Amino acid sequence: MYKIKIQVYIWDGDSIENSEQWTVACKNIEIPFPPFHDLKIDFETEKERKIKSVTWNIDNQTFSCELYEQFCYLGVDDLMFDEWVEDFEDNGWLINGPHKNNV
């Protein structure tokens, strides 16, 4: 099994430029093969996510993977920023934030 630290940035707008704040969610998982770019990870109780980038950490002997960002589109059926953060937290993700967007 391959140990992977995955992380995803959650933005409170429909783009980085249109967001006032962001947070990052992290989770440790294991998979039976090395991760790769655009691999889809199908979580049992949450939305499927794709890997944006993969880095091998030689000191910890683990992979670090950044997933594609989660934007809050603010449509009628979309979750609000706080709801997305709560959903990640409820599914075992560690939350770091929110942080003010300085872009």
**Per-residue pLDDT reduced to its tens digit, 47-90:** 899 999 999 999 988 999 999 999 987 666 777 889 889 999 99
> Quick one: pLDDT at residue 76?
65
Range of the domain at 93: 2-100
pLDDT over 70, % of the chain: 97
Q: How far apart are CA 32 and CA 58, in angstroms?
A: 19
Q: What is the mean pLDDT of the chain?
A: 91
Q: What is the largest CA-CA distance in the chain?
A: 45
| One-letter identity of residue 49 | R
Residue 2 in contact with residue 31, Cβ under 8 Å?
yes
Phi and psi, residue 14, nearest 5°: -85, 0
Question: How many folded domains does the chain comprise?
Answer: 1
> Quick one: pLDDT at residue 78?
73
